[in-house]
Structure 1
Amino acid sequence: MATFFAMNNKSFMATMLLFGLLVASLEITGAQSVGACYGRNGDNLPTPADVVALYNTNGIGRMRIYYPDTETLQALRGSNIELILDVPKDSLQSLGSDASAATQWVQNNIVNYADVKFKYIAVGNEVQPTETAAQYVLPAMQNVHNAIVSANLQNQIKVSTAVDTGLLGTSYPSSRGSFSDSASSYITPIVTFLVNNGSPLLANVYTYFSYAGNPQNIQLPYALFTSPGVVVQDGNLGYRNLFDAVMDALYSALEKAGGSNVSIVVSESGWPSEGGTAATVDNAGTYYRNLINHVKGGTPKKPGRAIETYLFTMFNENLKAAGIEQHFGLFTTDKQSKLQLTFT
């Protein structure tokens, strides 16, 4: 009998250990679902080495940078921070027109940093279909992808582009979400590329701009995740916040463009702390805190699926255009928390 209970106790302890490891794994996955963008458009910012240390101290496991900055890439070596690296707009034409230029770009900025944990390459950020650069986005994506394959990194790094929600022609209700006629010829071939290569769409999602542009019809609590109940009923799906409604409109648009299995990574989302309508420290803190908690659980259309999300942005950047663009920082330039956020 004693042996029986001892064996049962050992079996119980082993089961509990496995359960604990599973819970820890889930907690780590949840914690890693939130990253932060790191822009450097300021003349008073900490060094990249100090910034990487700040990420680690605060448990921020993911970063996005907007061009292949050598100093930042050096600082990221061995850090285990997952990275979105952008191909800036001024490089699109050369990489889209010349496969060898894309190969060299990948060699210089990715292969040469084997101990940096690249996850996505964002080929262009918010390129508009009417811009000259738009014609080079898909060819650049294809050339960069081919270079990634040649380096045998295709299972580690996915190639995509970052879009803004202005590409939507219809966004309300979410089930009717679709890309505008003017955007369709641009985005549909890109969606096909994403489908063929198992890549997500990177999307910059800001409820702030939707609210600030239409405060008469969009309630502030709906934009800040603080509505007490369902605000918008769309068929059998109820929406308590604008973020979910925009995300599901994007998912609906992807479905109509042939990308029903394409996931969305939120490559930017944030709220300014000053400089415009409802831009206060309290509102910014409320938005970011609620966003961090909310993205663990998916949307009404995609429930239970954590949304990989990058908060915009680490610091106020004083060389940006005056106004709200300078006031999205999560930290002060002396590395103090501006909004008292917990990232894990």
Structure 2
Amino acid sequence: MTTISIISYAAVQPIGVCYGLNGNNLPSAQDAVNIYKRNGIQKMRIYAPVPEVLNARRWTNIEQNFLLMLPMKTFSPLQPILQQLQIGYISVGNEVPSSSNIAQYVAPAMEKIQNALASAGLQSQIKVSTSIYAGLLSVSYPPSQGLFSNETKPFVKPIIDILVRNNAPLLVSVYPYFSYIGDPSDISLDYALFTSRGIVVQDGSFGYQNIFDAILDAQYSAQEKEGGSSVNIVVSETGCSYDGNPPVASSTNAGIYYKNVISHVKSGKGTPRRPGRGIETFLFAMFEENQKLGAETERHFGLFFPDQQPKYRISFN
């Protein structure tokens, strides 16, 4: 099985929200889409080609985002759908570990899909990419020293080369929440929540007030060392849990994070290494998911409760 995610792109980049379905008490797909509409959320990312979601979306102006678990042979039947929807690029793989037995197939699959798009006349409309997580770096501090590990480079380098050739972005999951709970003695809560009043990390001429920017710039530094200085980054997931891992996992702190990350990416300031460049960002996630695997904290990233009530007082756009 190959994971294929399809994510839309627009020159003006509104906030997107990931729509997970790992719950047995979630609202209908049409009700979920209506919540997107009422809150002005124009980008959606889903994790399976659920017919109810696709059909609900067709009656809205949401720029659809798909995360599809599909065998490669089912890509061709998707081409008519790609032509109908506003889609800018396709991602093969979602946070594939470089040590996994499928890692070697990601770059070749990207090439095959790029060729398939060219055959369908969609190569200028849709770019091919993949989604990675920040843990592929062996060095992330200071950001200018960002470096992919020797074990990761054989996986990452071919991907970056493809992205450079096709002017496509790299999709990256960026979670200050996990950075903080993994190292609370060295990373302050203010640095993770965008609430630091001054520079926390000075890296040469670049100053960092939040770890979100630091994570992104470490990724940019690592890409540059592999010939990917022209490759832009799209934040394909970011969020904060409100339960399961105090002190950061609280309703108050999660609300602060979501509000501040929205404000930051919508400001258009970019990061210290990429100033003035918009950061296309998808928040994780739309609803609480009571059947999500992993630690208890994983089930509490929702922006809305299953009864459709908002968890936080935030404006998305």
**Is the TM-score greater than 0.5?**
yes
Deviations 1:215-243 (A, max 9, x none): 01100000000000000000011000000
CA drift of 1:147 comes to 1.7
Maintained 8 Å contact 2:143/2:214: yes
Instruction: Check conservation: 2:169, 2:232, Cα contact below 8 A.
Output: yes
2:48 to 56, 62, 67: 67
Greater Rg, structure 1 or structure 2? Answer: 1
User: Conserved in 1, the CA contact under 8 Å of 2:167 and 2:231?
Assistant: yes
In structure 2, distance between residues paired with 1:125 and 1:178: 20
Distance apart, 1:87 and its partner CA: 4.0
Cα deviation, 1:90-120, whole Å, max 9, x if unaligned, reads x4xx42xxxxx2xx42433x42364332233
SS of residue in 2 equivalent to 1:318 = coil
CA offsets, 1:144-164, max 9 Å, x none? 222222222222222111100
Q: Which residue of 2 aligns with 1:250?
A: 219
How far apart are the structure 2 equivalents of 1:87 and 1:176?
34
- 1:271 matches 2:244: no
Q: What secondary structure is seen at the aligned counterpart in 2 of 1:118? A: coil
More helix by share: 1
Q: Is the Cα–Cα contact under 8 Å of residues 84 and 122 in structure 1 kept in the other structure? A: no
Change (3 A) 1:29 1:53: farther
Which residue of the partner structure matches residue 288 of structure 2? 316
Q: Does the alignment pair 1:152 with 2:121?
A: yes
CA RMSD of aligned residues (A): 1.6
Unmatched 5+ residue regions in structure 1?
Answer: 1-27, 96-100
Q: Is 2:149 the counterpart of 1:180? A: yes
For residues 156 and 123 of structure 1, the distance between their equivalents in structure 2, rounded to whole angstroms, comes to: 17
**Of 37, 40, 44, which aligns to 2:25?**
44
8 Å CA contact retained: 2:43, 2:62: yes
Is the CA contact (8 Å cut-off) linking 2:20 and 2:47 kept in structure 1? yes
- Which whole-Å CA distance do the structure 2 matches of 1:87 and 1:270 have between them? 21
The amino acid that maps onto 1:247 is L
Between 174-183 and 261-270, the greater mean CA deviation after superposition: 174-183
Q: Which runs of 4+ in 1 moved over 4 A?
A: none
Q: Which residue of 2 aligns with 1:342?
A: 315
CA distance in 1 between partners of 2:76 and 2:44 (Å): 19
Identical-residue share of aligned pairs (%): 51
Q: Name whichever of 183-192 and 64-73 sits farther off.
A: 64-73
Amino acid at match of 2:262: I
How does the TM-score come out when normalised to structure 1? 0.85
Asked if the contact 2:262/2:316 (under 8 Å) is kept, the reply is yes
Q: Higher mean Cα deviation, 280-289 or 332-341?
A: 332-341
Give the unaligned 5+ runs of structure 2: 1-9
Q: Output the CA distance in 1 between the equivalents of 2:11 and 2:197.
A: 28
Aligned residue in 2 for 1:331: 304
Post-superposition shift, 1:41? 0.9
Aligned twin of 1:129: 98
SS of residue in 2 equivalent to 1:42: coil
Letter in 2 for 1:173: P
- Cα distance in 1 for residues equivalent to 2:219 and 2:209: 17
Judge conservation of contact 2:177–2:239 (CA < 8 Å) in 1: yes
Query: TM (normalized to structure 2)?
Result: 0.92
Counterpart residue number, 1:105: 75
1:287 corresponds to 2:260: no
Aligned AA (1:44): N
Q: How does 1:101-250 map to 2 (within 5 A)?
A: 101=73, 104-108=74-78, 110-112=79-81, 114-250=83-219
Per the alignment, residue 57 of structure 2 pairs with: 76
SS of the residue corresponding to residue 310 of structure 2 reads coil
State the SS of the aligned residue for 1:144: helix
Among 251, 276, 287, the residue aligned to 1:304? 276
Q: Assess if the C-alpha contact under 8 Å between 1:85 and 1:118 holds in 2.
A: no
